[in-house]
Copies of this chain bind each other. A is one copy, B any other.
């Protein structure tokens, strides 16, 4: 199930257009520019070609059944196109337009009509009211926003399922600058047919996917969702951003995607019980998904910090060890023996105690030696390692120096503060699947998520 959706041989776009004002233009343009190796069929009653591709007057005139049909026509015309999909046995139809249940009873009727049309058929529907799908591994991009406004991330390990399409696009744009990749993006929209439960099941077995990020405004079939999510989360980490927490926002969500309110305390309890990571904003959602995709979960509480700037070490210590405005873990006590060995590697006015400070004098070689010592320290469960651009001897070689040791057993999360060299560093760490963040806060919070997940797995005997 869903294999041909994520790895299609052919994609048709009903409502494809040469007019940049139309949604059907952005969709076909993204699809053409994505490098897709299969067939693309523009469908438009009045055009002979669109973006140099032969256009078809109707779906049926294509003469075969495309794996995916993207529907980019006004809502009133959608049922007819879905009927065509069913007749052609099209396996997947993605309905882009809004104007359905989120707008009231007339739209609800349209959705019910589509439900009746696909009942018992071979056609599955994503949407309506979706911004499309984006599968970088198979080079499918049917997003309705052109790539000069938002950027699309490279192929990677995070499956991102979003009930809100716009939030999905904006979040993908945010992570792109750090080279963070995704395995797939699905905008579920009104969830007329395909929902988050099926997506969880698919991604739990998808080889490209190492973690799953879910943005939800409501949860369909709560009991089944929690049961599936719990099982999936035990083998592949899930991060949930569930909005509509407050009464005010639950009301707003129902106006947005027709979501039904439910008590947030119940949701929170269910997520906690399943050890499922919860995010509270779009930055956390993808930071945590990324950390869990690459980072090693750990049940311990004792953290070591390596820095070349004392101030960064002090603030990190605050955030690690404070319960209020911090994550409430502990700073590891480095053994006397290790301390002596660290002292040999660093300048006399550095600190061999945790947070270990190599100072602005710190070289890549000394850094790696210290990391090696910490990797063998029993008292250390995880390490926050800083790659700080202001340090004169710091350069891109730090990436390989750290990469050589991330498999030595202990969890490593990297902080590279800044925007110039820091961004280059983060992109390189990302390539080597080491979670790296541009601020102290984001590094420490991501580390905490690895601890919570590690503790959950450990308590259930899974590590």
Contacts and interface: CB of A to CB of B under 8 A. Distances in A.
Contacts of A148: 420-421
Q: Interface size for chain A: under 10, 10 to 19, 20 to 34, or 35 or more residues?
A: 35 or more
A243 interface: yes
A117 interface: no
A6 interface: no
A252 B164 contact: no
A256 B26 CA distance: 54
A318 interface: yes
Closest 4 CB pairs of A and B: A164-B311, A256-B310, A166-B309, A167-B311
A130 B347 CA distance: 17
26 contacts: A26-B392, A98-B359, A107-B349, A144-B360, A145-B390, A151-B419, A166-B311, A167-B311, A167-B315, A169-B390, A171-B417, A173-B417, A173-B422, A176-B419, A177-B419, A243-B311, A246-B317, A246-B318, A248-B321, A248-B330, A248-B331, A252-B310, A252-B353, A253-B310, A256-B314, A280-B319
Interface in A144-199: 144-145, 148-151, 162-167, 169-171, 173-174, 176-177
Interface stretch (A46-54, A230-238, A434-442): A434-442
A310 B164 CA distance: 7
Interface in A222-252: 241, 243-249, 251-252
Contacts of A344: none
B164 A321 contact: no
B313 A252 contact: yes
Nearest to A355: B252
Nearest to A359: B98
Q: How many copies does the complex hold?
A: 2
Given A314-B252, A351-B255, A418 B246 contact: no
Interface in A407-457: 417-422, 438-441
A371 to B, nearest CB: 19
A309 B349 contact: no
A331 B318 CA distance: 33
A348 interface: yes
Nearest to A332: B248
Given A246-B318, A310-B257, A441-B281, A421 B149 contact: yes
Given A318-B249, A439-B282, A170 B418 contact: yes
Residue among A309, A322, A441 facing the most chain B CB atoms (10 A cut-off): A309
A134 interface: no
Residue among A281, A348, A357, A388 facing the most chain B CB atoms (10 A cut-off): A281
A244 B390 contact: no
A96 B312 CA distance: 19
B166 A252 contact: no
Given A318-B245, A389-B149, A252 B171 contact: no
A131 interface: yes
Contacts of A419: 151, 173-174, 176-177
Given A318-B249, A388-B166, A348 B103 contact: yes
Contact of A167 (B98, B253, B312): B312
Contacts of A99: 349
B249 A174 contact: no
A326 interface: yes
A202 B300 CA distance: 48
Contacts of A166: 308-312, 360, 388, 390-391
